Structure 1
């Protein structure tokens, strides 16, 4: 979409406000709104100024002036505002016109440019499956003298005996019993359908939606794959629409990986493939799961660098409450055809050469998608360039239910880090692959690790409510 097309759209749709957005290091959208009457061609040339010192992990107050440069192809109409508003995603630049090397969207674009410079392929496709919960009520507090959380859902297994509904209608979803039931057990068909309608109006191509495994309103909506940066843009749009649609229904949505103890958490399984122009590079008929050597080496890079990758793909302390055995959590660093207990799964059902891809199942939606997708691509490219063979390193293929293996067999399988601090340790020890093509910089890695260490410490020093159950009567 050209600048003129955007300006025409503003007039045709009687747009009153133009909302310029960027994403911070933590993956959250930030925005500044300008009256549509103040937006002209110069806006797209000169950008929109903002204070970078107020964004965690960006710049100090002495270097706070920064510029959002609008990307016209990302424009879509906000479906939630009372005043007609056009949303436009932006890249971040310094006042002297240089790309800001801590801009997550800029990092994603550099990763795509690096792929092309290698001569391996021309584009990488990504498709995330981002799961979420829709709750009816959420309360939490963390203070000096108390700490708690409490969520509730009309679907929840713990509400089979509740009287406050004005007549309990039953049909609650059992723990781990929520995968694709029909109504009246699935109460959220209409809200998910409304989310999909709004996503399609905003330009996403929706493939399907369904209830997920956990009790208490876990769902999933799948949208069509696209190139790396466009998919990250689309994921932010996806999360924005889900959160605000839930709010319109008087509910609340969360992408938190593990909001409930004792049931499945929410992951973000990421499907990936590389193409050279119109030729898919991951398919070779007759080989294991019809995978080419390029695809196997890409898998090798993902699994070899996985401990460091996880600092970017699972960057929260809560991520590691999900990454435990027993809840379909992909903690085992092996690959397998169609096997959901492996960290890397190769889909094999109804797969064509164009549909041949790999699925990294470990990530979750606390990840900044621009950083996570860029890091995954760089790990895979490193595997291709160094011909890292996952078979030679003991990463599979393993076509067994890993959760049912003996302890001795499990001991032979490398696992994911056990905490955010362990993942950050791995990133500090193994980040050279991220520096290729100057996609990430050492400054970025150091700054990111410092920011995330602060989060880990904030959780580690606080008293956990369960410690009272364990130790109060010591």
Structure 2
């Protein structure tokens, strides 16, 4: 990569189109940490063309969302060892919101011996995908991203409010699928489309969801790592588009009281590597054992994975009866009240939708955990409960309802640890427990209002 012109000629087509007749100024070398925040370095384009890797300390994976540190270092101690970060050039993408001509490149993390860092989220997902490949299976996913556009919130003590729409009125709730409601956010959505086009991403659709200022973006199905990269990128581009229009985009699971939460629904199917056939459908189009085992695995193992799919204390505020989020792991056909849904489809596109993951989860880890549960079901030949018919919101919860309980279940899930990697699970558990203990030291307005003078 010694010559800048040679380097740019090898980029994905969207990046080449973005740079056409322009001079590349800078390259952002990035990697996802445990929360899904982009960490890394920005370097001049000429320097990037000459370098094959760069270094970051492994401690980026020990940080909590507040910036504190979990004591998760290995036997060498907390010495902040340098990792070797190598670019995956297939992920090269524009950063169209920047003042100059900038590209982003996602990197993979290795230790000094060349082994993948086991608690790097992209490596965790790759580990799970490779386990499918070793069994002759190719997993396919399609994420759905829900998020809120809200008014700028500069004081955390103040409640989050919906953004002001184009009409000059705050965004209204309970207008699901309304085109008028989508038009309220037209300028922001226009920038989202423009940024996505510059980055080479294909949006399958944007709809208004049930919350005030809540939108959903659907992505086309594909390779799990590629789609996780896109969600990782999308979170950043959506935030940047919102900032251009004096509002915030938030991916909190439950940002506004009495409004629905935001999910990252994950659609799954599995193909036979040799034939390309959907393994959820038999020769005559019927549902296969693999289809039922995948659902059985989700039902059996998702409670252990909830700490990954719902990674913050706020995540559990989403799992509330009758607030457009599942509370149990019932499965049903074309039933959006169940935690596991089988959408209407033909045999070739038969898929299983996991509706439990919050949009606040790290996309690499959320997809990895969901695929891991399904794979365990296939390996162990788990059978699901009888198909649920009716309103599953009326049922009883099947999942932990607070972060501490979810971590306890996750810590004991040895089967899940074997799929995700024991070292990742160890680090994740320590970091999340540190984060939870930080939260428990904060006294909330509810406690001051109702306990200060009454108990």
Q: TM-score, normalised by structure 2?
A: 0.88
Structure 1 segment 68-107 matched on structure 2, within 5 A? 68-107=85-124
3-state secondary structure, aligned to 1:311: helix
Does residue 133 (structure 1) correspond to residue 148 (structure 2)? The answer is yes
Question: Are 2:151 and 2:161, in contact at CA under 8 Å, matched by a contact in 1?
Answer: yes
Q: Secondary structure at the match of 2:172?
A: coil
**Residue equivalent to 1:281:** 279
1:279-305 deviations in whole A, cap 9, x for unaligned?
Answer: 111124888xx5322111001101101
- Secondary structure class of the residue paired with 1:139: coil
1:55 Cα deviation (Å)?
A: 4.6
Identify if the C-alpha distance between structure 1 residues 178 and 390 changes in structure 2 by more than 3 Å, giving closer, same or farther: same
Q: What secondary structure does 2:160 align onto?
A: strand
Judged with a 3 Å threshold, the aligned counterparts in structure 2 of structure 1 residues 284 and 247 are, in CA distance, closer, same or farther, namely: same
Give how far 1:178 is off. Answer: 2.3
CA contact (8 A) 1:285 1:291 kept: no
Partner of 1:162: none
Structure 2 partner of 1:399: 389
Give me the whole-angstrom Cα distance separating, in 2, the residues matched to 1:251 and 1:359.
31
In structure 2, list runs of 5 or more residues that go unmatched.
Answer: 64-71
| 1:353 corresponds to | 347
**1:384 and 2:372 aligned:** no
| 1:253 Cα offset (Å) | 0.4
* Aligned 8 A contact 1:70 1:88 in 2: yes
Distance 1:291 1:308 in 2: 27
Q: Give the Cα separation in 2 of the matches to 1:381 and 1:445.
A: 17
Q: CA RMSD in A?
A: 2.5
Q: Deviations over 1:234-269 (max 9, x none)?
A: 101111110000011111100001011111111111
Aligned twin of 2:68: none
The corresponding residue for 1:212 is: 209
Contact 1:18-1:36 at 8 Å conserved across structures: yes
Return 5+ residue gaps in structure 1 as ranges. Answer: 142-147, 157-164
Pick the aligned partner of 1:188 from 185, 192, 198.
185
Query: 2:207 aligned with 1:198, yes or no?
Result: no
Offset from partner CA, 1:141-181 (integer Å, 9 cap, x none) = 4xxxxxx232233459xxxxxxxx9xx9668624xx12122
SS in 1 for 2:433: helix
Aligned ranges 1:117-196 → 2 under 5 Å? 117-119=134-136, 121=137, 123-141=138-156, 148-154=157-163, 173-174=172-173, 177-183=174-180, 186-196=183-193
**Shift, 1:140, TM fit:** 3.5
Query: What is the DSSP-based 3-state SS (H/G/I as helix, E as strand, rest coil) of the residue aligned with 1:342?
Result: coil
Contact 2:163 2:170 in 1 (8 A): no
1:364 matched to 2:364: no
Q: Partners of 1:433 and 1:417 in 2: how far apart?
A: 16
Matching residue of 2:36: 27
CA shift, 1:323, in A, is: 0.9
Are 1:21 and 1:90, in contact at CA under 8 Å, matched by a contact in 2? yes
Change (3 A) 1:214 1:372: same
**Maintained 8 Å contact 2:329/2:339:** yes
- Paired residues in the alignment total 431
Distance 2:333 2:283 in 1: 14
Runs (4+) of structure 1 exceeding 3 A deviation are: 3-7, 9-13, 57-61, 168-172, 284-287
Partner of 2:24: 15
Q: 1:6 to 1:376 in 2, by over 3 A?
A: farther
Tell whether the 8 Å contact from 1:332 to 1:341 is kept in structure 2 after alignment. Answer: no
464-473 vs 58-67, greater mean Cα deviation = 58-67
